[in-house]
Chain A
Amino acid sequence: MSLPDHLQSTFSPEEIQFIVENEPIKIFPRITTRQPARSGAKGGSPPIRCTLITTDDASINQLVATRSSEVALWLALLLKQQNKCSIIAPQWLTLQALDRSIQFEKTHPDRFSAMPWNWLVLAQLLFKRAPDDFHDPVHDLRSKVQDLREIRQLKVLKGLRHLNESHLQLDNLSLLEVNELRPFVLDTMDRLREIHSAANQDTIQPAPADQHGYPEPL
């Protein structure tokens, strides 16, 4: 097949990371790429400009050292790798904010706290690639994130009891958590739906097939 089996109904974790890497993030550049207004006097060829086709290339061409600016995460990681910037951790990735989230998770057993949809991936990426840019000690942050993850996993496990044949609402679940649940939840609910519709076939007429505007079978 043109698509490998394990990718046919879900994303791989690497692809999830790829999606997350498109998000903007704030950085402190350590280089200046902005052209001084009177550079013409110096002569010589102008330096090469970075022209990008997926993100706004103005942001990368206007960098001034130590003045924070916003670029895509993959670009930030690339710059960080070259030691050309430091990444500013987002607001929620501090000990205080994580503590608040953990408190919220503990006091509200029936819902998930409002973490951003990419929190788990972003935290792992930053811990790995930019551990020296945090104000709080990284090992503390790591253990808090782990705590949060475990609390949420417990809630997910409790929620699995409510799988049914109609629908499910999972607000504030992050992308990675959705992705690891996906094969199990979808398959289980599909089976439930099949059993349900098979049992009710006599009493309730199934939805007419031509509702979608497709032709009758030949």
Chain B
Amino acid sequence: MDISIDDILAELDRDTTIVERSDPSSQVPLTSDGNTTMVNSSFDPGQIPLRKAGLQDDITPEKDYTRLMTLWRNERCSPELLPFPTLLMNRMLRRVQEQMEKIENISMGFYEDGAAGPSQQPNESAFGSNKDKLPLLCMEAELERVKFVIRSYLRCRMHKIDKYMLYLKQLEYAGNNAASLKELLSEQELVYHSRHFASLLKLFNSSVLRHMPPELQAVNDTEGSISMVDEPEWGRFVFLHVKMPSERALKEDPLLERNEFGKPCYIVTIQELNEDVELTVGGIYVMRYEVIRDLLRDGKVELI
């Protein structure tokens, strides 16, 4: 007779390792602002320490960087402008700043050592400083890598802001969606958007548009033969990878279902073709963006 004791062992494991690491990706990752798990005061006392551990565990430099990489890749592949991760970006920029200062400080220390060292023990200090360059090298190389990702991410967003200028303007004018534009763009991007729009409009107006009859002067005419407002192509195809959900999500996620092979999968519907598609966990698909948009927002799939 076989008695399965896996769950009992798991229970024991959880006691010995204080920090719960079993489901790193379950606590609503990519809520797009990096602001996860709010500590709610109405939790029962036994729950709070666990929650706190989860919270601290969640915001580590490594996780933030992984999240930034995912956001960067999603932004590069998706046809629409994704919401700006304000908190995550603040944390990243602060860390870059601190790291730069730290490198500065350490390299200052090098000069002092080099000046003072040779007089006392020339052999050892020469050897020592040579060895000590390595950490500095690593830190500088890493800093360059982080800066590259952030730069590429922001440039990609600026490209999309240029492209969807009129569409974003429309969102702004629509009134009820004014708040949504604020969370879609960062403060600097908002400034860039409005100023770039103003200067471009001025150029068009002064060079061409003022010679037109009044009914043809609008730059955002959607009534004419061709709509002037470029919307994101919602139906554009993208490559996506279905992420492995965590243990807890496996049981609780209402969207997850099992297919005939027993593998978990999400079922999505392509409305235009009236077709259901199973997205098996771990698979790579080419799919229309509008179909998987909600899954992407929830961080269940990532674009590649």
Given A2-B159, A218-B170, A171:B65 Cβ within 8 A: no
Say if the beta carbon of B99 comes within 8 Å of chain A. Answer: yes
Q: Are A167 and B288 in contact (CB under 8 A)?
A: yes
Say if the beta carbon of A87 comes within 8 Å of chain B. Answer: no
Given A3-B155, A171-B284, A214:B272 Cβ within 8 A: no
Q: Are B270 and A47 in contact (CB under 8 A)?
A: no
Given A11-B76, A215-B171, A218-B220, A52:B142 Cβ within 8 A: yes
Q: Are B239 and A2 in contact (CB under 8 A)?
A: no
Q: Select one of A84, A185, A217 contacting B286, CB under 8 A.
A: A185
Q: Are B132 and A48 in contact (CB under 8 A)?
A: yes
Q: Which residue of B lies closest to A171 (CB)?
A: B283
Q: Are A52 and B139 in contact (CB under 8 A)?
A: yes
B39 to chain A, nearest CB (A): 25
The CA of A3 and the CA of B95, in the complex, are separated in Å by 25
Q: Are A166 and B141 in contact (CB under 8 A)?
A: no
Q: Are B239 and A182 in contact (CB under 8 A)?
A: yes
- CB contacts under 8 Å to B, within A37-61, are 45, 47-56, 60
Q: Which residues of B contact A204 (CB under 8 A)?
A: 272, 274
- What sequence of 0s and 1s flags, for each residue 146-168 of chain A, a beta carbon within 8 Å of any chain B beta carbon? 00000000000000000001111
The CA of A171 and the CA of B280, in the complex, are separated in Å by 10
Say if the beta carbon of B106 comes within 8 Å of chain A. Answer: yes
Q: Which residue of B lies closest to A21 (CB)?
A: B145
Say if the beta carbon of A178 comes within 8 Å of chain B. Answer: yes
Say if the beta carbon of B277 comes within 8 Å of chain A. Answer: yes
A76 to chain B, nearest CB (A): 11
Q: Which residue of B lies closest to A217 (CB)?
A: B222
Q: Are B237 and A186 in contact (CB under 8 A)?
A: yes
The CA of A50 and the CA of B138, in the complex, are separated in Å by 7
Say if the beta carbon of A189 comes within 8 Å of chain B. Answer: yes
Q: Are B158 and A53 in contact (CB under 8 A)?
A: no
Q: Which residue of A lies closest to B274 (CB)?
A: A204
Q: Which residues of A contact B288 (CB under 8 A)?
A: 167, 193
Which stretch, B15-23, B172-180, B208-216, touches the partner chain A?
B172-180
- What sequence of 0s and 1s flags, for each residue 203-231 of chain B, a beta carbon within 8 Å of any chain A beta carbon? 00000000000000000101000010100
Q: Which residues of B contact A132 (CB under 8 A)?
A: none
The CA of A197 and the CA of B139, in the complex, are separated in Å by 53
Q: Which residues of A contact B304 (CB under 8 A)?
A: 175, 178
The CA of A76 and the CA of B274, in the complex, are separated in Å by 50
Q: Which residues of B contact A2 (CB under 8 A)?
A: 155-156, 158-159, 162
A170 to chain B, nearest CB (A): 5
Q: Which residues of B contact A84 (CB under 8 A)?
A: 134
Q: Which residue of A lies closest to B233 (CB)?
A: A190
Q: Which residue of A lies closest to B270 (CB)?
A: A166
Q: Are A170 and B284 in contact (CB under 8 A)?
A: yes
Given A178-B284, A190-B236, A54:B141 Cβ within 8 A: no
Categorize the interface residue count of chain A: 35 or more
Q: Which residues of B contact A3 (CB under 8 A)?
A: 155-156, 158-159
- CB contacts under 8 Å to B, within A8-43, are 8-9, 11, 15, 18-19, 22, 31
Q: Select one of A1, A51, A218 contacting B162, CB under 8 A.
A: A1
Q: Which residues of B contact A22 (CB under 8 A)?
A: 69
Q: Select one of A7, A51, A175 contacting B139, CB under 8 A.
A: A51
Q: Are B142 and A53 in contact (CB under 8 A)?
A: yes
- CB contacts under 8 Å to B, within A51-81, are 51-56, 60, 74-75, 78-79
B118 to chain A, nearest CB (A): 15
Q: Are A19 and B135 in contact (CB under 8 A)?
A: no
Q: Which residues of B contact A214 (CB under 8 A)?
A: 171, 177
Q: Select one of A18, A55, A165, A189 contacting B62, CB under 8 A.
A: A55
Say if the beta carbon of A91 comes within 8 Å of chain B. Answer: no
Q: Select one of A15, A51, A78, A165 contacting B273, CB under 8 A.
A: A165
Q: Are B139 and A82 in contact (CB under 8 A)?
A: no
- CB contacts under 8 Å to A, within B124-162, are 128, 131-132, 134-139, 141-143, 145-146, 148, 152, 155-156, 158-159, 162
Which residues of B are in contact with A by a Cβ distance under 8 Å?
61-62, 65, 69, 73, 76-77, 95-96, 99, 102, 106, 109, 113, 128, 131-132, 134-139, 141-143, 145-146, 148, 152, 155-156, 158-159, 162, 170-171, 173-174, 176-177, 220, 222, 227, 229, 233-239, 270-275, 277, 280, 282-288, 290, 293, 304
- A/B interface sample: 23 pairs, CB < 8 A: A1-B159, A2-B155, A7-B76, A7-B156, A31-B131, A45-B113, A47-B135, A50-B135, A52-B61, A53-B142, A54-B145, A54-B146, A60-B138, A74-B145, A78-B138, A84-B134, A166-B277, A168-B286, A170-B285, A170-B286, A189-B237, A200-B272, A207-B272
Besides A22-B69, A167-B286, A196-B273, 8 other A-B contacts (C-beta < 8 A): A47-B135, A50-B135, A53-B65, A54-B61, A165-B273, A167-B287, A186-B238, A189-B237
